[in-house]
Structure 1
């Protein structure tokens, strides 16, 4: 392999990720992955014996990138001394819901969970844990109680994540801030 070029396996995972994001798990075929990656079918099958194995590799890749992006975002929030706790919270959540490929993970598991293996379910739990780990770092950094953290999480999931998954408009940031402000006041 030439230096600087991604491996065929990485290239296939990337092409599959784009397809799964646009079309879901059921709507994506190995033939489509073959065409999108511009590789042969034997090349795909030599790296990924089934579509489920390919999906699991995509999910692992998305988990790693999610953790990296959220961690970077949180470091920026920590370095910005003027960043209020709620502003940092919303920055993290807005980062999470802005990534179509991360939202696709939820959509696939909500709609096609019955097709997933125990390994896939474990990988989804790890994917969700990446978000929670960064949010728990936020909780510790801003010294927020468990009760307040759980309330913020519930309200934010309802106000930002759910509308993003349903492709509906989210509550305005100003309205969400006014809804969350009394909760954070309980610290």
Structure 2
């Protein structure tokens, strides 16, 4: 939310962000003009520039706001029952990456990867890299505590996250309908975790 804005001004700001997000997603960054954004938001172009000094600034704000909306709460790795902890964490992780917000941010970054590589870098650091680092730390501590045995906890964390992601996620990224039910997702995650722990505890 913009700091120090009146309720009316904040409402216009949100209209601009909503309109820009839709147009960036539908048309891409390069082909979307500030005139179109203003028209769709129902405000003047001067109002758009008053809130956001440039299209770059507006685009960056749209991506960052969606990242916040889709952020994984990393305090889920708690408790002593490792299997239950990892099951809930992976379910939370998969729910997050399959969410419309996360898919939106991913597509938006891909669509502007050549013109705005810094957005992709920012998204990667705030999302995938952060989750991977957190899970790797948890697995490393589990090795220290003697719960599991892993030669490379960071690589193991990467494997676990990619297995949990599943092929169905590619369908979502391509705009195809997700066919996986919540029950099927939980079963798949439990099977992935069984396979992982079997190797880690063997």
Normalising by structure 1, report the TM-score. Answer: 0.72
> Could you tell me which residue of structure 2 aligns to residue 183 of structure 1?
196
How far apart are the structure 1 equivalents of 2:173 and 2:105? 10
Q: Does 1:128 align with 2:128?
A: no
CA 1:17–1:185 in structure 2 vs 1: closer, same or farther (change >3 Å)? farther
How far apart are the structure 1 equivalents of 2:188 and 2:6? 52
TM-fit CA distance, 1:27: 5.9
> Could you tell me which residue of structure 2 aligns to residue 147 of structure 1?
155
CA 1:62–1:79 in structure 2 vs 1: closer, same or farther (change >3 Å)? farther
- Spell out, residue by residue over 1:11-66, the C-alpha distance to the aligned partner (whole angstroms, 9 max, x if none): 42243224334554356442332133221012213443443332112122223333
Provide structure 1 residue ranges, at least 5 long, that are not aligned to the other structure: none
CA 1:96–1:79 in structure 2 vs 1: closer, same or farther (change >3 Å)? farther
Report 1:75-154 matches (<5 A): 75=75, 78=78, 83-98=84-99, 100-114=100-114, 116=115, 120-131=116-127, 132-141=129-138, 143=142, 145-154=153-162
CA 1:130–1:93 in structure 2 vs 1: closer, same or farther (change >3 Å)? farther
Normalising by structure 2, report the TM-score. Answer: 0.67
Q: 2:199 aligns to what SS in structure 1?
A: coil
> Could you tell me which residue of structure 2 aligns to residue 61 of structure 1?
65
Provide structure 2 residue ranges, at least 5 long, that are not aligned to the other structure: 144-152
- Spell out, residue by residue over 1:123-180, the C-alpha distance to the aligned partner (whole angstroms, 9 max, x if none): 2222122223134324434537222211122333453532220234366422353244
Q: Which has the higher helix share?
A: 1
TM-fit CA distance, 1:110: 2.9
CA 1:185–1:147 in structure 2 vs 1: closer, same or farther (change >3 Å)? farther
Aligned length: 178
How far apart are the structure 2 equivalents of 1:80 and 1:41? 56
How far apart are the structure 2 equivalents of 1:101 and 1:43? 26
Structure with higher RCO (Cα < 8 A, 6+ apart): 1
